[in-house]
Structure 1
């Protein structure tokens, strides 16, 4: 029987995993339409049609014919309420949830029947794409969307991949149009956020300083996104300190440590109540507190809850669903 998301184990040691672990890639997964001739094709066809109908406004890559109408044409055709809507919210999220449920059930049925073949590869590949994007929501960071585009682009070509590439491109438009950047904030502006952030310090469900830095950093990022969306979209990140073999910090003996950070006009400030309960601290000071070689500190798009992969960039395992305590 296929395990539920609650039973999955994060490949790199996180306490929670994506709703569905990424499936092995297969050249057989070239088109979801191959499922139409199989048993249960009506359910599959309905799912595909729903998701294709939810496709975004355009795809930036490809030929001019594939890209669709220019942005100013699309804007003229849209109502004012549609212009302000977020592509990956509301109905689109509900459709993702329904599709996840339907496809997990189909795969469980294949498990029960002992089926192995191209139809399974196609479903698993599509489910991996949906789960990656779903686990990153809400997407409030340009760098997070760009990383998601990179990861979806790595999947085999299929209608579902094209649909999600369009949705992610439209999410970029939404962030850039609705939350434009006026440049990095001042250090004073970031320090002024502190009282808003304090309630998120205990988000890991433990005393500050105990395990749970991933949840704490993510909760802080989400508060910044709620109150300062333009900063979150363009200047917010996470600093990941990783171990090269020996544990980090003589007292804590961490395998890794992570904290939210904001790039200001005068440098990077780290928000980490483990080391400062009075305000953000410069990145160099945070590195010294963690007792880590600066070469093992990596800035990562803040929308990813899990630790980065072997290349110090987010991978599919980094897209872990955040479940507030």
Structure 2
């Protein structure tokens, strides 16, 4: 049975580049994710052979995708090569065969999304150089943001994450690409529920039995993973749980975000925020946070007390597929969807 998308919210600001908020007030600084800027060789060849006509046709193609078709009056522009239109959108590459895969967002589809990101980035750069109309650039930027949102949420192993992706994509400008991916996200819900049926919340003992598989994600002293602090550590633990028990990850795995009312969290650590993986079990919500205990999960109330926040007002549960901090309404937004860099 197809599942309905959540209620849409207003479109997020388009021009904000996703950035990780720092875990600590001091120490490793936040790192902004950047989109790939490499220009595909095929696009370079296209630009050399097609010239301005190709750019104009590409702009027209992007407007068609955004539902704002505007035909050029120039015969030269109308006769631009087919390769120019294909450089902007590879919708045709996604044939019905890709949708026949067992999982809608297969590795092959993810690779194509990455290729589309590169092509769209290169085309936007070319449009800047050619002083293309701002409205055409906005259409291209909308498409790039849609692709980036999806790519950064891979792998789609959480029902809650897919629901949030549907909500966020639903708020984006209409296009054929948006329609296609909304359909694929609905199919992903079916895939997760059929492939990994929900057997109910696990017990605390079942979570404790996973511990040896989770320890490698804890990192070194203080529980740090790479340069990402609590964000990277929590995500690494979630991925370890997904490998160990896909059904738990699909239905009962989340993250707990502790956010201050102002100032810092924790008298000693002075965090801007703190986040940890959590599992809803038959014994309540248990939080896995090696900063406070490397041998067992903590009850949510105990974890909040360790962070020194009020769990009723300053702790927020979010879908685990989002790496970054939730938005102003304490729900994931486009800036919460960032690629995990282990």
In the TM superposition, 1:91-130 aligns within 5 A as 91-130=108-147
Confirm whether residue 42 of structure 1 aligns to residue 83 of structure 2.
Answer: yes
Aligned to 2:59: none
Q: TM-score, normalised by structure 2?
A: 0.76
Confirm whether residue 259 of structure 1 aligns to residue 276 of structure 2.
Answer: yes
Q: Which moved more, 1:89-98 or 1:282-291?
A: 89-98
**Aligned-partner Cα distance in 2 for 1:35–1:273:** 56
> Displacement of 1:9 after TM fit?
5.8
> Displacement of 1:142 after TM fit?
0.3
Residues 213-271 of structure 1, C-alpha deviations (whole Å, 9 max, x = no match): 00000000000001100000000000000011121111100010000000001200000
Confirm whether residue 311 of structure 1 aligns to residue 320 of structure 2.
Answer: no
> Displacement of 1:122 after TM fit?
1.7
Cα distance 1:231–1:161, how it changes in 2: closer, same or farther (>3 A)? Answer: same
**Aligned-partner Cα distance in 2 for 1:117–1:160:** 21
> Displacement of 1:273 after TM fit?
0.3
Residues 17-41 of structure 1, C-alpha deviations (whole Å, 9 max, x = no match): 3638xxxxxxx96734738866676
Cα distance 1:184–1:299, how it changes in 2: closer, same or farther (>3 A)? Answer: same
Aligned to 1:61: none
Aligned to 1:164: 181
Task: Answer whether contact 1:241 1:296 (CA < 8 A) is retained.
Answer: yes
**Aligned-partner Cα distance in 2 for 1:122–1:206:** 46
Aligned to 2:33: 17
Report the 3-state secondary structure (helix = DSSP H, G, I; strand = E; otherwise coil) of the residue aligned with 1:250.
coil
> Displacement of 1:123 after TM fit?
1.3
Cα distance 1:197–1:36, how it changes in 2: closer, same or farther (>3 A)? Answer: farther
Cα distance 1:304–1:221, how it changes in 2: closer, same or farther (>3 A)? Answer: same
> Displacement of 1:45 after TM fit?
3.6
Aligned to 2:253: 236
Aligned to 1:25: none
Report the 3-state secondary structure (helix = DSSP H, G, I; strand = E; otherwise coil) of the residue aligned with 2:223.
coil
> Displacement of 1:140 after TM fit?
0.3
Report the 3-state secondary structure (helix = DSSP H, G, I; strand = E; otherwise coil) of the residue aligned with 1:232.
helix
How many residue pairs match? The answer is 283
RMSD: 2.5
Which ranges in structure 1 are unaligned for 5 or more consecutive residues?
Answer: 1-7, 21-27, 58-77
Residues 48-107 of structure 1, C-alpha deviations (whole Å, 9 max, x = no match): 4335536976xxxxxxxxxxxxxxxxxxxx6xxx4xx21112221121111111111100
**Aligned-partner Cα distance in 2 for 1:54–1:132:** 23
Task: Answer whether contact 2:287 2:299 (CA < 8 A) is retained.
Answer: yes
User: Larger C-alpha radius of gyration, 1 or 2?
Assistant: 2
